[in-house]
Amino acid sequence: MRLYAAVAVSGFKRYATYRVATVAGVFTNTVFGFILAYTYTALWDERPHLGGYDLAQALTFVWLGQALLAAVALMGGGFQEELQERIRSGDIAVDLYRPVDLQLWWLATELGRALFQLLGRGVVPMAVGALVFELRLPASPLTWLWFLLSVVLAVCVGFAVRYLVSLAAFWLLDGTGLAMLSGLLCLFFSGMILPLNVFPGQLGEIARALPWAAMLQVPADVFLEEHRGPGLLRAFVFQAGWAVALLAAGRALQSAATRKVVVQGG
Amino acid sequence: MWVRSTMAYRTSFLIMTLGNLLATGLDFVAIALMFTHIGELGGFTLDEVAFLYGTTSVAFGLADLTLGTMGRLGSRVRDGTMDTLLVRPVPILAQVAADRFALRRLGRITQGVLVLGWSLSRLDIDWTVDRALLMPVALLSGGVIFGALFVLGGAFQFWAKDASEVQNAFTFGGTTLLEYPPTVFGKELLRGVTFVVPLAFVNWLPALHILGRPNPLGLPGWIGFAAPLVACGCCAVAGLAWRAGLRAYQSTGS
């Protein structure tokens, strides 16, 4: 356990060294936040209470998305590229010899990275958004705590999805195409482009049941206090359920891939 | 060479091109989903928004295809492989552009053309000579303006080293902005993208003239024809910045 904590700390430190990149990221998130906030204002002007949100809630959703984009890696990234490169080059063979669990190792680095990104790239855009627009911030301090728990679960689900995608590199060798496709699906089905409760009819129901919903829509709804009492519990069960199921799938795929690893090494 | 190397991983290439087609496609699906709830956004119909969307997508796709690799320049400056480009007897800008040239980016242009074609088939545009002429001119100048932004961002990397995200704010952020009607945004922002970072010339100003819409800032309709001039100006600025950046470049290590 101490080992994985150390790995997480090193994941945090590693991203903390890129200061200019962090500032640049904050700038980009803020610019996108403004563009989306203006479009959403026009949209909610036409249809107030669209998807059950009022304008303040919709704008809060926009800025939450920008704040969580890097932390939950909604566009992909994080450990993914490195792991795929190690699989492609065959270095993964060395990793498999190590007396640590491969999946837990990468999950630990991911949690460290996410914590840094949440602080480094999340707080400032959210603060700017709250200063310029009228946002709906949680009234109860307890909600902030529930929100953080929900974000941790979101990071786990995001990790589990990208771990599965990365392992596909064992079969495809060059996994960049699949990684890109997965990033795009995530942007669309997490609610990043448009909140999932605005999706019409059946499409909306399906989108809200998919694992990507656990990555932005659910934490945002927890923040907006849309889930209360038993609803809150259901939201956490939904997130944790997907996290466990996908991590287990990753584990199964990993053992299948390990049996195949000889291919590159000869 | 990069085209052939991409082809080595054929499945991945196919997925990637499809992914690129889908990439901007899902953006448009999101806009279409918005229009299931509303008839107009900022006074523009779905067909008109599709026109704005298609023109930006094509212009951006042209720039991305030729100069999209500028974003990687920062990592070259960081790890010192920039030096290998400097000693070759080929213009450095051309080398950076060809570096990891990715054919998959054709997906974006294809998708833009499809949406643009769809919108043109549904819009009832009064095709006067000047409007018909403005169309190709606007698409090309738009591509050049985005291209100049890519080069400008690349030049910035010589100093900032790992700030490719700032470039994304202007390029990818710019496309997101231009996909929506100008009436959606505040006047301050419109002034900014008309006079400071002239993104409005990529498609908004020409499009307003083609669609026969008044300019929210009260600018005359012919302003759209200034797009090629603005594009030339952008190139000049980007060229100067690029040369200054190269001069300021210090290699890593001893």
Question: Which of B11, B29, B34 best probes binding to A when mutated, by most A CB atoms within 10 angstroms?
Answer: B34
Cβ(A174)–Cβ(B9) under 8 Å?
A: yes
Q: Which two tokens stand for residue A246?
A: 């996908």
* Token pair in block for residue B18: 């499809």
Averaged pLDDT, A248-253: 95
- For residues A166 and A176, give the distance between their C-alpha atoms in angstroms, rounded to a whole number: 9
pLDDT digits (tens, 9 = 90+) for B126-178: 899 999 999 999 999 999 999 999 999 888 888 877 777 788 888 888 889 99
Q: Where are the alpha helices (DSSP H) in chain A?
A: 2-16, 19-46, 55-69, 80-89, 92-97, 102-117, 123-132, 141-167, 169-172, 176-189, 201-209, 217-223, 230-258, 262-265
Q: From A258, A90, A104, A248, select the one nearest A164 (Cα to Cα).
A: A248
Beta partners for residue B44, in sequence order:
B41
Q: Average pLDDT, stretch B196-203?
A: 93
Mean of the per-residue pLDDT values of chain B:
86
pLDDT at A134: 95
CB neighbours of B141 closer than 8 A, spacing ≥ 6? B201, B202, B227, B228, B230, B231
Per CB-CB distance under 8 Å, the chain A contacts of B183 are 42
Q: How distant is the Cα of B109 from the closest Cα of chain A, in angstroms? A: 17
Q: For residues A31 and A240, what is the distance between their CA atoms, to the nearest angstrom? A: 32
Distances (CA, A) of A77 to A55, A62, A72, A84, A179: 31, 21, 10, 11, 9
pLDDT tens figures, B28-37: 999 999 999 9
**Which residues of B fall within a CB distance of 8 Å from A212?**
none
CB pairs A-B closer than 8 Å: 118
Backbone angles phi, psi at B236, to 5 degrees: -60, -45
- A206 CB near a chain B CB, below 8 Å? no
Joined tokens for residue B89: 């007897």
**Interchain pair A174, B161: CB under 8 A:** no
Q: Are A198 and B34 in contact (CB under 8 A)?
A: yes
Predicted local confidence at residue A266, as pLDDT: 46
State whether residue A15 sits within 8 Å of chain B by CB: no
Quote the percentage of chain B above a pLDDT of 70.
90
Determine whether the interchain pair A174/B12 forms a contact, defined as Cβ–Cβ distance below 8 Å: yes
**pLDDT, average across residues A31-47:** 94
**Which residue, chain included where needed, has tokens 């840094």?**
A116
Q: What tokens were used for A142?
A: 């307890």
| Cβ-Cβ contacts under 8 Å for A50 (sequence gap 6 or more) | A43, A44, A58, A198, B37
Task: Answer left, alpha or beta for residue B92, where phi above 0 means left and psi between -120 and 50 means alpha.
Answer: alpha
Residue A21 contacts B where some CB pair is shorter than 8 Å = yes
Q: Do B12 and A43 touch (CB under 8 A)?
A: no
Q: Smallest CA–CA separation between A199 and chain B, in Å?
A: 7
Q: Do A184 and B34 touch (CB under 8 A)?
A: no
Q: Which region, left, alpha or beta, applies to residue A77 given φ > 0 means left and ψ of -120 to 50 means alpha?
A: left
Q: What is the complex's ipTM, to 2 decimals?
A: 0.86
CB contact under 8 A, A42 and B42: yes
Q: Cβ–Cβ of B11/A177 closer than 8 Å?
A: yes
The alpha-carbon radius of gyration of chain B (Å, integer) is 19
pLDDT band at B72 (very low <50, low <70, confident <90, very high): confident
Point out the residue among B18, B26, B169 whose CB comes nearest to the CB of A31.
Answer: B169
Rounded distance between C-alpha atoms, residue A166 and residue A174, angstroms: 10
Quickly tell me which residue has 């962090």 as its tokens: A22
- At residue A98, the pLDDT reads 82
Inter-chain residue contact A188 with B186, CB threshold 8 Å: no
* B165–A25 CB contact, under 8 Å: yes
Out of A39, A178, A188, closest to residue B15 by CB: A178
Contacts of B162 in chain A (CB under 8 A): 18, 20-21, 24
Instruction: Output the pLDDT for position B104.
Output: 66
Phi-psi sector, A212: left (phi>0), alpha (psi -120 to 50), beta: alpha
Contact A198 B189 (CB under 8 A): no
Selected for mutation to probe chain B from A19, A38, A165, A196 (highest B CB count within 10 Å) is A38
Q: Left if phi > 0, otherwise alpha if psi is -120 to 50, otherwise beta: which for B252?
A: beta
Q: What is the nearest CA distance from B129 to chain A, expressed in angstroms? A: 33
d(CA A137, CA B137): 47
pLDDT score recorded for residue B254: 44
The answer to whether A38 faces chain B, any CB pair under 8 Å, is: yes
The answer to whether B169 contacts A28, with C-beta atoms less than 8 Å apart, is: yes
CA distances from B2 to A180, A237, B7 (A): 19, 47, 9
Task: Tell me the pLDDT tens digit for each residue of A157-179.
Answer: 999 999 999 998 888 777 777 88
- If you average pLDDT over every residue of chain A, what do you get? 91
C-alpha angle with apex A236: A231 to A240, nearest 5 degrees?
A: 150
Altogether, the residues listed in chain A come to a count of: 266
